[in-house]
Structure 1
Amino acid sequence: MLGMNDDKKAQAQIEGLATLLVLDDEIKKLSNLREFGFFTTNETHRLIPYHTACLWQRRGYVGQMILAQSGVAEIDAHAPSNQWLVEFIGKIQQTDNAKIIHKVNLAELEGDDNENFFPKAVLWCPFLNKSNELSGGLLFFRETDFTQSEIKMITWLIASYQYTWQILNKHKLKPSWKKVKEHHLRIGVTFFIIAILLFPIRLSVLGTATVVPKDPVLINAPLHGVIKTFAVKPGQYVHANQLLLSFDKTDLIADKEVNQKNFQLTEAKLRTAVNGSFDNKEARFEIPILQAQLNIDKAHVDYTNALLAKADVFSPSAGVVVFDSKEDWIGQPVETGTRILVIADPKNVQLRVMLPIANMIQLEVGAKGDFF
Structure 2
Amino acid sequence: MNDRIAPLTATPDLLALRDRALAETSVNGLAFVMANDLYPLLHFRQAVVAAYAGQRLNTLCISGLAKPTEDSPYLIWLQSTLHWLRPHLDSAREPIWLARAELALPGALAEGWRDWWPAGVWCVPLAKADQPPLGVLVFQLDAPPDERLQQALAGVWATWSYCWAALQKRHKSHFWQPGRRHAALAAVAVAALLCIPIRQTALAPAEVVSLDAQIISAPIDGVVAALQVRPHEVVAANAALFRLDDTTLRSRAEVLAKEVAVADAELGTTSQRAFDHSQSMSELSLLKGRALQRRAELAAVEAQLKRTQVLAPRAGVAIYSDPNDWLGKPVVTGERIMQLADPAQPAMRIQLAVSDAITLAPGAEVKLFLSAFPLSPLSGRIKETSYQAKVTDDGIAAYRLLATIEGPTENARLGLHGTAKLYGERVSLGYYLFRRPLSALRAWSGL
**TM-score with structure 2 setting the length:** 0.41
Higher strand share: 2
> Rg: which structure is higher?
2
